[in-house]
Amino acid sequence: MATLTASSPSQYHRRSWLERNGGQLGLHTVLILITILFAVPLLVVVSASFTDEVALAKNGYGLWPSQFSVDAYRYLLLNPDQIIRSYGVTILVTLLGTLGGLLVMTLLAYALARVDFTWRRPISFFVFFTMLFNGGLVPTYILITQYLRLRDTLAVLILPYLVVPWFVFLLRTYFSTLPKEFIESAKIDGANEFQIYARIVLPLSTPALATVGLFLILMFWNDWWLALLYINEASLYPLQYLLFAILRNAEFLSNNANQSAMLGSVVVPLQTIRMAMAIVAMGPVAIAFLALQRYFVRGLTLGGIKGE
Amino acid sequence: MAPTATTPIPRNANAAQTRKRTGFGALLRKNAIFLLMAAPALLLLIVFSYLPMFGVVIAFKDFRAALGIFESPWIGFKNFEFLLRSPTLGRITVNTLFLNSLFIITGTVGAIGLALMLNEVRLKMAARTYQTFVFFPYFISWVIVGYFSFALLNSDNGLLNTTLSRLGLKEVAWYSSPQYWPTILTLTNLWKGVGYGSIIYLAGMLAINTDYYEAAMLDGANKLQQIRYITLPFLVPIMIITTLLAIGRIFFADFGLIYYTTRDNSLLYPTTDVIDTFVFRALRVNADIGMAAAAGLYQSVVGFVLVIASNWLVKRVDPDRALF
């Protein structure tokens, strides 16, 4: 009897633990499965990049290298010219595009946020209308290639993306929530609009600037569209477009096939090289993402404020 | 003392303002600095957004590169007649609408389901880890997604086919079987966007007052009932708005998703060719500028009407969330 009474509370306790946590366990099981499914494509590409070329052709793609090899990466290290060039193009475009975009968009947003700017409404509409209607690909393409003659220039990878209406409005909304007293007192102190913009509004808006800046970095870093349309010159290939060229056209890599002799191997590791290229191109984005994820989340909530 | 010291200032300011408000020149001078600040961005918009709008006249011309837009001869609706007579117009319209509908439905259901699950996880560390994994694909370019799908689907040694053959099942030539592609594209789209899409619903859930749940628990409601009768009803407005806004964009396909995941494989066009890929191909591959311009204008105009219509609907549901 004594043991029964002693054990019954713990039995009761155990059942209630399962009852209380059974749902949580099920939830974690489902979420872990989803997480694994989401990671599979990445795992497969990483494992392929570390697989021996012949083994990959024979055994196929898997979650783990069927025969471990770093030949693909060694090959990339021996032929780094195009990769370094493309990395350079992408870094330059991302840097100039993000800084330039932030500059022109914050200037515009600042003017639109000022209530004493007489034409802020019609100009807001002028910006907004570009979100509703666009001329489409053909007129843009002809304008850029035949009239502006921007084909195969660095500028064509930057200029068309500098003004994103959605970000202009996000910044405008943020600027207009800043306390008016700051601006008023600065004016009394004799500051002009540029000084108020640079010394008061921008420093107070770092969360919005960080969010828009990160989205711009992501947009420029990941862009392949402008290169697909306007770049033929390999020396101006951004990273994403180089990846595309390699996936479409194996010869792009085997041009340097004589290099494979250096590896002491008969086969140019074409398939595994492609996968290694994808990993090399993705690396910085992956690291940056892990560090900066919360800013992107905040970007969405900032956008939400605009809607309300 | 204080009132006498402060009142004259606004009066003076008012007087100064009314004096200044005479004539356009004064108005221009007052706004000059703002115009100067807005100028660079406005100039870029004029060049890259407004000039192409006028360029839509190309659709009504027999465009010759040597003659340019202005000198090329007018041909009325000839380009549109060619477009209407080709069998592709129906196909690309249906594909665009069908695929985007699939994406909207699965994207909404997936985002809400994921948000509900993440929201219920009590261990916050775990919830953040899961979120990181499902958010990750959002940061990857479509080109790299193309690599992923190639690794999974290529018929020689892709993961899916090697797995199928290991299980003793028949392999599938994915890149030449169009019937599978609406599913493949839907899964790819979900994989890339559902983490991002769930954030807005998670934010919506955080905004729900916890009193509702406490009251429901006192009444003996279990978790599923709480979700069914409290959480979901609160999410309905967000769901309606995001869906309507997505419908406003239903005539515009995600070019990167289609082009890179299918590897622009012509065998798959029956189910994957959309307006955007068709326009791109007509312009860049076939150099049929008239056809490309006509299809592009068709998309711009119908797209414009749909954006206006969806915004009108959003306004009726929740005026604060309308775009304009």
Q: Regarding the domain delimited by B78-321, which CATH topology (the fold level of the hierarchy) does it fall under?
A: MetI-like fold (1.10.3720)
Q: What per-residue confidence (pLDDT) applies to A36?
A: 94
> In the predicted model, is pLDDT for residue B101 greater than 80?
yes
Our measurement of the distance from residue A215's CA atom to the centroid of its chain's CA atoms, rounded to an integer in Å, reads 7
Q: Map out the domains of chain B as residue ranges.
A: 2-60, 78-321
Q: What per-residue confidence (pLDDT) applies to A253?
A: 55
Q: In this complex, do B158 and A141 lie within 8 Å of one another by their Cβ atoms?
A: no
Mean pLDDT by 10 residues, chain A (308 residues): 43 64 88 94 93 88 90 86 91 97 98 93 93 92 95 97 94 91 88 92 92 92 95 93 81 50 55 89 79 73 43
Q: Which residue has the tokens 């840097």?
A: A95
Q: Does residue B263 sit at the A interface (CB-CB below 8 Å)?
A: yes
User: How many residues are listed for chain A in this entry?
Assistant: 308
Q: Does residue B41 sit at the A interface (CB-CB below 8 Å)?
A: yes
* Cβ contact A277:A76 at 8 Å: yes
Per cent of chain B over pLDDT 70 is: 93
Q: What per-residue confidence (pLDDT) applies to B19?
A: 52
Q: How many CB pairs under 8 A join A and B?
A: 265
Q: What per-residue confidence (pLDDT) applies to A301?
A: 61
Q: What per-residue confidence (pLDDT) applies to B35?
A: 95
Which of B144, B165, B192, B276 to substitute to test the interface with A, most A CBs within 10 Å?
B144
Which tokens belong to A105?
A: 């968009």
Residues of B in contact with A48 (CB under 8 A): 151
Which tokens belong to A307?
A: 């809607």
Q: Give DSSP secondary structure letters for B93-158.
A: HHHHHHHHHHHHHHHHHHHHHHHHHHHH-S-HHHHHHHHHHHHGGGGS-HHHHHHHHHHHH-TTT-
Structural domains of chain A ordered from first start? 2-59 (no CATH), 80-248 (1.10.3720.10)
Q: What is the band of B145 on the pLDDT scale with cuts at 50, 70, 90?
A: very high
Q: In this complex, do B140 and A38 lie within 8 Å of one another by their Cβ atoms?
A: no
Higher pLDDT, A265 or B298: B298
Greatest mean pLDDT range, A128-132, A303-307, B49-53, B196-200: B49-53
Residues of A in contact with B54 (CB under 8 A): 135, 139
Query: Residue B74's beta-bridge partner residues?
Result: B61
Distance CA B91, CA A151 (A): 32
Nearest CA in chain A to B116: A27
Q: Which long-range contacts (CB under 8 A, 24 or more apart) does A151-155 make?
A: A151/A230, A151/A231, A151/A232, A152/A230, A152/A231, A152/A232, A152/A233, A152/A236, A153/A236, A154/A89, A154/A92, A154/A93, A154/A96, A154/A236
Residue B74 DSSP one-character state = B
Distance CA B214, CA B209 (A): 10
Residue of B52, B69, B200 with shortest CB distance to A134 = B52
Question: H or E stretch including B270?
Answer: helix B269-272
Q: Does residue B162 sit at the A interface (CB-CB below 8 Å)?
A: yes
Q: In this complex, do B136 and A60 lie within 8 Å of one another by their Cβ atoms?
A: no
Which tokens belong to A50?
A: 């570390």
Q: In this complex, do B49 and A278 lie within 8 Å of one another by their Cβ atoms?
A: no
Residues of A in contact with B289 (CB under 8 A): 138, 142
Higher pLDDT, A104 or B221: A104
Residue of B41, B47, B138 with shortest CB distance to A104 = B41
Q: Does residue B120 sit at the A interface (CB-CB below 8 Å)?
A: yes
* Cβ contact A136:B296 at 8 Å: yes
